[in-house]
Amino acid sequence: MTAVSEDSHSFLFRALRMIVLLSAPVLAGMVQLAVIPAQTGMAAHFSALGIDGAFAAQNVMTIAAPAMAFGAPLIGWLSGRLGKRNTMLAAVLIYGLSGLAGAYAPDLYTLLASRLILGIAAAGYITISVSYIGDYYPGEGARDRLLGWYAIVGGGGSLVVLYVAGLLTKMGDWHSPFALYGVALPLLVMAVFLIRDVRQPETAAVGAAAGSDSIWGAWGIYALITLIAISMYAVTIQGTYIMASGGITDPSTQSNVMLLSTVGSMAGAYLFRFVRPAFGFHFTLALTWAALALGNIGFVSTTNIALLAVCAGLVGAGSGLMQPLTQTRVLNMVSPSATARAMGMALGCIFLGQFLHPFVMKPLTDAFGLSGAVFWLGAASALAAVIAALWRLKGGEVRAAA
C-alpha cells in the first residue's frame, strides 16, 4: 500500500475515518456487554439440554477476555508481517462474522469457539485503530485529545450497547443481541475506502530520534498497566458482592451504582486532555492511582448508596485517565513502525490485569475477608500515588516531556 500524505484528505474523509477508528472501543466493549441481557435466557436454554446453564452462560460472556489478552499482542505482531491495513480489515471482517455466528451456533462448544475468535478479532481492531491514531496525529496535543475521546466514546458506547441489547432480548430471545455484532460489516466497507497508511516526514523523524523499533523499551509501562488494571477492576468484579454483604441486594440499585464507574471513566478520559498537559506524566499517574485508592477504600467503607456511586465513579475516573496516559506514553517510546506491536502489548496488559485480579484477591481475601482485600488493594494504590508524585518532584519527569 502506497503511503499518502495526510494533507491530501478532505475534512469529510478524515471525519468518516475517525468514525471507523473510534468505533473500535465500542465494538471491543460489545464483546461482553451485548450478551449480558441474554444471560438468563441462555442459561435456561442450556439447562433444558441437561447442561449447567448458569455456568455455560457465564463462560459464553467471559471466555473472550483471555482471548483478547492473547489476541492484542498477537495481532500487533501479525501487523508487522501482513501490514496494519490488511490486518485491521481482516480483524473487522472476522469480528462481524464470528459475532453473528453466535446466533446460529448449533451447540455450546461451537458457540464458545466463535466467542474466542470474536475476542481475538476485537483485540486486533482496537490495537490497530490506536496505532493509526498515533500515525495520523503525531503531535502529542492532538493525539492526547483523540485518545481521550477514544475512551469517552468507548464508555458512552457501552451504555448504548447495554440498552439496545436489552431491547433486542426483550423483543426476541437470547439469540437476538448477537445481531449487534453485524455493525462491523458496514464499518468494514468504510474502512476499505478510508484507512490508508500514512508516512509523514516529521513522524518518521520523531520516531528515529526518540523511539525504538523494539517494543521492549516500554516494558516498564506494560508492567504499570498490568498493576493498575488489577486495582481498577476491584469494584467492577467485586462490587456486587461487597454491596450484597452490606445489605444492598436489589439488582437495580447495584446496577445504578456500577453504572457510575462507566460515567467516571468517561469523565476521566475527557479531563485527561487538560490534566496531562498541565501536570505531566507522573503527576497524572499519581492522580490515577489516587482515584483508584480513594474509590476502592471508600467503596468498602460505606453502605450509603450515594457514596458507593461516588466511589465507583472515582475508580472509573482512574481507569479513564490510565488508558490515554499509558497509550500516549508507549507511542512516545517506540518508532512509528513499532506502534501496532507496542499497542497490542499495552492493551493485552489491561486484559492480563483483569485475568490476574482474582489470583491477587484470593490470598488477600483469605487473610482479610473480601472488604479487607479491596481495602489493602486501595492502600497499595495510595502508596503508588505517593511514589509517582515523589518521582516527579525529584526530577523523574524528564522523559515524559519528550
pLDDT tens track for 72-85: 888 888 888 888 99
Q: How close are the terminal C-alpha atoms of the chain, in Å?
A: 31
Angle of the 11-33 helix axis to the 184-194 helix axis, nearest 10: 150
Residues comprising the chain, all counted: 402
Domains (range + CATH), the chain: 1-199 (1.20.1250.20), 217-396 (1.20.1250.20)
Please give the Cα distance from 193 to 89 (Å, whole number).
11
Contacts 24+ apart (CB under 8 A), 13-20: 13/194, 16/190, 16/194, 17/136, 17/194, 17/195, 18/146, 19/190, 20/129, 20/187, 20/190, 20/191, 20/194, 20/195
State residue 224's pLDDT score. 95
State residue 1's pLDDT score. 44
pLDDT averaged over the chain? 86
pLDDT tens track for 198-243: 764 544 444 444 455 677 778 899 999 999 999 998 888 888 888 8
Please give the Cα distance from 156 to 178 (Å, whole number).
20
pLDDT tens track for 362-374: 899 999 999 999 9
Most confident of 126-130, 217-221, 393-397: 126-130
Confidence of residue 188 (pLDDT cuts 50, 70, 90): very high
Residue 348 reports pLDDT greater than 60? yes
State residue 394's pLDDT score. 59
Confidence of residue 315 (pLDDT cuts 50, 70, 90): very high
Mean pLDDT for the stretch of residues 289-307: 95
Report the SS3 class of residue 198: strand
Mean pLDDT for the stretch of residues 135-147: 78
What predicted TM-score, i.e. pTM, was given to this entire model?
A: 0.77
Q: With DSSP H G I counted as helix, E B as strand and the rest as coil, what are the percentages for the chain, rounded to 5?
A: 85, 0, 15
Residue 186 reports pLDDT greater than 90? yes
Please give the Cα distance from 272 to 267 (Å, whole number).
9
What number of H helices and E strands is found in the chain? 14, 0
Lowest average pLDDT, out of 42-51, 178-187, 248-257, 296-305, goes to: 248-257
Per the rule left: phi > 0, alpha: psi between -120 and 50, beta: everything else, 369 is left
Distances, alpha carbon 103 to alpha carbons 58, 65, 107, 111, 161, in Å: 16, 19, 11, 8, 17
Mean pLDDT for the stretch of residues 45-66: 85
pLDDT tens track for 231-285: 998 888 888 888 888 898 887 788 788 888 888 988 998 899 889 888 889 999 9
Mean pLDDT for the stretch of residues 120-137: 90
State residue 212's pLDDT score. 54
* Cα Rg of the chain, angstroms: 21
CB 203 within 8 A of CB 326: no
CB 99 within 8 A of CB 161: no
Distances, alpha carbon 323 to alpha carbons 144, 265, 344, 369, in Å: 11, 10, 13, 30
State residue 400's pLDDT score. 39
Confidence of residue 65 (pLDDT cuts 50, 70, 90): confident
CB 115 within 8 A of CB 101: no
Mean pLDDT for the stretch of residues 132-146: 79
Mean pLDDT for the stretch of residues 89-110: 95
Lowest average pLDDT, out of 15-19, 112-116, 178-182, 396-400, goes to: 396-400
Q: Which residues pair with 198 in a beta bridge?
A: 4
Q: State the cell numbers at 11.
A: 475534512
Query: Among residues 198, 390, 396, 233, which one has the least CA distance to residue 315?
Result: 233
Confidence of residue 69 (pLDDT cuts 50, 70, 90): confident
- Segments in 246-338 forming alpha helices (H): 251-299, 305-333
Please give the Cα distance from 187 to 127 (Å, whole number).
16
